[in-house]
Structures are given as C-alpha cells and as structure tokens.
Amino acid sequence: MLTMASSSNHQQLFFLLLALLLPIAINGADFIFQKCGENFTANAILPGNINSVLLDLVGKTSTHGFATSSYGTGADTIYGISECSEGATAQACSACLSDSALKAHTSCPNSADMSIWQHSCYLRYSKKNFMGQPNSTKIGAWYSIHKPVDQQAYTRAVEELLGVVGSAASWGENRKFGWGVMDSPNFKGSVGKLFAMVQCTWDLDQDACTKCLADARQIRRDSCGDRLGCYVITESCALRIEISAFLLFNPAHDPATPARSITLGSL
C-alpha cells in the first residue's frame, strides 16, 4: 500500500496508519536514548521503505515481544528489528513501539540508520543488514553521582553479578535478556542489594552476545568507574546495575537467603 503512495502523501499515510494501529494515548515518559545515523539526500524510495518497516514492526512485535522486518530491494532495502522489555504488557509494548516509530519519523526524518532505546522497548533500522552482527560501539553511558564506601568490595560484587547475569542472557534461546539480584556489601558497611540487567538484541547468537557484553562491561569500567549505578547502551547490547530495583517486573527474592546469594533469571 505504501509503495503506491507518492512521496508527498507518505507522511500523512504514515501518521494515519500509526493512528489505526494504536488508538490509545502514547506515554513517552520512558524514553532513554535515540541515535540518528547519517542523513540520506534526495531519495524518493527510502522514506517509504522506512515507513513500511516501522509500521510492520509496530504491528508485529507485541505478539511475541520481538520482531524483524525488511522492505525494499537492492541498495534501498531497509532492515529493522524490535523488542519489548521483559515485564512490559502487550499494550505497553505497542504504545512504546508506536512512540518509537513516531520519534524515528520526527527526529530522524532523513536518516537511514536509527536506534532508539526506551524502558519498555527497543527499535532499530538500517540500510545495512546488521542482523546477527554484534556492534558494541557505545551509544551512551550514564551513571549515578554516588560512590560506594568500600570500593573494592563493591566492584567485586558488580563484576561477579554481571558475569553470571551475562551468561544467563547469552544462553537465552529467543531473547537474550538476563537479570539478577545479589546481596552485596552496602555502602554504609551493612548488606544491601545489587540489581543487574543485561540484554543483547535478540538477533545475536550466544558468542556474539557474550562478546558484546564483555565490551559493555569494559565500557562500564571506563565510563562509570567507581559509581554506584551505571547504564551502558551499545548498538547491540545493554547493561544496567543499580542498588535499587528498576526492572519492569518484581524479581522474586527470598529475604531469608544468606548474604551473597544470587537470584537469577533469563529469557
């Protein structure tokens, strides 16, 4: 349908179809980061191909929580991938992807290479067929202002937790998502909790995911240093570590388990 449209009504059609796919209010509050790649110039075909991929991903993703799409031929082919976060409801998933498609459309109108990370979903498209190819180029790193009192003990706990959570994520069959909660030395001398999440885009295999996460862990060391919280996003994977809960679901944790026990989960 979109290929039939002239470029002058591409825009209107895109917004109309998006509105039909999602008749509910969009909450853009969970935005994290968006990257617009190189702009293309004077291309009559790419905008329609991008719109087709975006609409396809918005329509397909909530069924399984992840999807791929491609549209076009030859050098004008656009490849796309999307995924919703663990714990996001189907409705939150759709709302997040619609919002991402809208942001792609409005913030990166002339870019054939776009990534957007939100708390509830992830969406990327490119002219390059990036499926299965890990790219651990940093696209962002954020950290909290606070530092632990016992730096060495904290770092040991972080490395241990990220190691096991990373393995859990990379073994995942469909989704490459892992989380964990661990008792760790607190920052006032007592025992506290450490929460971690790692994720590879679901097109990666185990080795590619493992490699991306190793790079993300190095980015954490370099960019977040001795801070308590850290959130690293690369093209193909992400990790986050905090001393308070941040996941969209409540990881079960038995308060009676001894110190240094690890509760793990993966998809």
Ligand X SMILES: *[C@@H]1O[C@H](CO)[C@@H](O)[C@H](O)[C@H]1NC(C)=O
Which stretches of the chain bind ligand X, using CB under 6 A? Answer: 36, 38-39, 110, 135, 137, 235
> Is the CB of 98 or the CB of 236 nearer to ligand X?
236
Is 130 or 177 the residue whose CB approaches ligand X more closely?
130
d(CA 44, CA 79): 17
Bridge partner list, 117? 33, 122
Length of the chain: 267
Nearer to ligand X, 139 or 164 (CB): 139
- Nearer to ligand X by Cβ, of 69 and 236: the residue is 236
- The residues with which 115 forms a beta bridge, in sequence order, are 35, 124
Closest approach of Cβ 130 to ligand X, in Å?
7
Q: Closest approach of Cβ 207 to ligand X, in Å?
A: 16
Alpha-carbon distance of 81 to 203, in angstroms, equals 8
Smallest separation, CB 221 to ligand X (Å): 20
Smallest separation, CB 201 to ligand X (Å): 13
Dihedral sign, Cα of residue 221, residue 224, residue 226, residue 230: negative
Nearer to ligand X, 86 or 215 (CB): 215
CB of 44 to ligand X, least distance (A): 17
Q: Which of 91, 147, 126, 112 is nearest to 235 (CA)?
A: 126
**End-to-end alpha-carbon separation of the chain, Å?**
36
